[in-house]
Chain A
Amino acid sequence: MDTSTENHAQAPAAESEPGSFRDPESRIFYAGGDVYRALSADGLADFEALRATGLFERFQADGRLVRTELVEDTSAVPADLLPTGAAGLLRHERIPFVSYPYEWTFSMLRDAALLQLDLTLAALDEGMILKDSTPYNVQFRGAKPVFVDVGSFERLREGEPWVGYRQFCMLYLYPLLLQAAKGVEFHPWLRGSINGITPAQMRGMVSFRDRFRRGFFLNVFMHAKLEARHADRGKEVKAEVKQAGFKKELIVANVRRMRKLVASLGWDPPKGVWVAYGERNSYSGEDAARKDEFVREVVTSQPWNLTWDIGANNGRYSRIAAEGSKAVLAVDADQGPVELLYRTLREEGDERILTLTMNLADPSPSLGWRGLERRDMAARGKPDLVLALALIHHVTIAANVPVAEFVDWLASLGTALVIEFPTREDPMVKKLLGPKREGLHPDYERVSFERVLAAAFDVERRERSKSGTRLLYFARPKGAGSPIDLTAPEG
């Protein structure tokens, strides 16, 4: 442990955030369940400059900036966290669940981009700027984007350009252009490279005719060309640009132009997704009502901190989960319904349900330096309740994950569970089994599923749908519940 805390009995053990090392003026660490940001002398001066403007208060008040307070005593900062030592310390509000741009839908990345640009413009107005432009500086509180890197605000140095422009292109603009103009989902690209898409890569992915699309000529074609031409004369160009007197007005003009461009970009899910989403509240029949009731009874039976609704689709059950959970993750592999759910929640001003798109059979891995900069799902916050409704047949039949493996993964989360099991007679299961060779997935069968489930969890409740082809279970972690006998007749 570091020695700096020894003299202060109350100071809790500190753990530095492995993803926060790029900016030498500002580093994140955790202590006693709180999020702290240590600042260098320069970083502190920038923070004081920000505080002196009205922006700091205003942005916290409207929720666009993470809640932050200055801590007087810097002794809790781990030694050697900052190369130049800590001069200041901030404490931040904790965001319920950290998410990454490759898990966001199109509109989420676009809203984060607009937030980044709006904060940059407001900062420029006050003689400040944001030193970088990375979407990893934005988190979501429900459907509201929140800028979390207070250390990104710095005093504008005369003659410097918009340093974050290139990064903005690589991590915001190109991914958005790819999906908006080319119909290519940006997620694999952002997940594949923590720094995003380079101008040269983007140039290689677009066609001649894209030259005439808005935003492409300058930001893609010219950008790639200039970058290739001036690649090895960085120092001279910087000197020239500075000597020519790069003015603030120029930065403002560029950021405004970028904002207009980003605001003009759009992406819509395919028609069928809209139709299905429109019908989300009109599920009829006794089975749907019983399922709602089952989920609602579990969710409201006790307070839950974090509920994962996996295979959330249009979010019907995420909304029910929000009735009894502090925070809900609505995760689905299909971006379409999640995008529409995000838009609805955004309109409602929701701050509880975080929508994410991810394939559970190929979930977000640990990424970046030492594989610790970006973490896998469970490392960012284990759930205490998981809803796995109408999901298991997709994971086990469509994605070929063995039933026992899937249940074992759920158990490894140490969570309570509501799981739905559609039997082999269920129309959807039949459809998924249809193209498969006869006799495949012998483990996808009710009795063996129940045996596996009961081995990993204490199953407290089971209910069969009226149609007879779907079963609902509520289970607690092994040893935490009072299990029923699943081999006994249903009743």
Chain B
Amino acid sequence: MDLLAYLDPGSGSMILQIIAGGLAAVAVTAKLYWNRLLRLLRIRKDDEAAPPADQQRTDSA
């Protein structure tokens, strides 16, 4: 995936945001680790299920 920002958000900083997000983050965190587990068990391939990288503007989120 390509980040379109000119500023590097920082890998550690991104993970921290997930941890710090508290309750709002629980679901995301779970999914993150679930995906990691699936990959570890080779149930899912690396890029599977990743949505196309372009056109991801959220007006509705």
Contact = CB atoms under 8 A, between A and B. Distances in A.
Contact of A131 (B5, B18, B47): B5
Given A156-B61, A157-B57, A245-B28, A254 B17 contact: yes
A254 B21 contact: yes
A328 to B, nearest CB: 35
Interface extent on A, as a size class? Answer: 35 or more
B9 A163 contact: yes
Contacts of B50: 239, 242-243
B16 to A, nearest CB: 5
Contact of A161 (B14, B51, B56, B61): B14
Contacts of B49: 243
A257 interface: yes
Residue in B4, B15, B60 whose Cβ sees the most chain A Cβ within 10 Å: B15
Contacts of A249: 24
B19 A222 contact: yes
Give the secondary structure class of A's interface. Answer: helix
A250 B7 contact: no
Contacts of A93: none
A199 B9 contact: no
A246 B28 CA distance: 7
Interface residues of B, number: 41
B20 A167 contact: no
B1 interface: yes
Interface string A227-248: 1111101100111111111111
Contact of B31 (A24, A132, A238, A245): A245
A402 interface: no
B12 to A, nearest CB: 3
A226 B12 contact: yes
A159 B9 contact: no
Interface in B1-41: 1, 3-25, 27-29, 31-32, 35-36
A160 interface: yes
A250 B9 contact: no
A237 B50 CA distance: 13
A240 B6 CA distance: 20
Residue in A169, A244, A248 whose Cβ sees the most chain B Cβ within 10 Å: A244
B6 to A, nearest CB: 5
Nearest to A218: B20
Contacts of A231: 11-12
A455 to B, nearest CB: 51
A250 B25 contact: yes
A301 B23 CA distance: 63
Contact of A155 (B6, B13, B57): B57
Contacts of B19: 218, 222, 226
Interface of A: 22-25, 127, 131-132, 155-167, 169, 199, 218-219, 222-231, 233-234, 237-254, 257
Given A158-B56, A254-B21, 18 more contacts: A127-B58, A127-B61, A131-B5, A159-B1, A160-B5, A160-B56, A161-B13, A165-B10, A218-B20, A223-B12, A226-B13, A226-B15, A227-B10, A244-B35, A246-B14, A247-B27, A247-B28, A257-B20
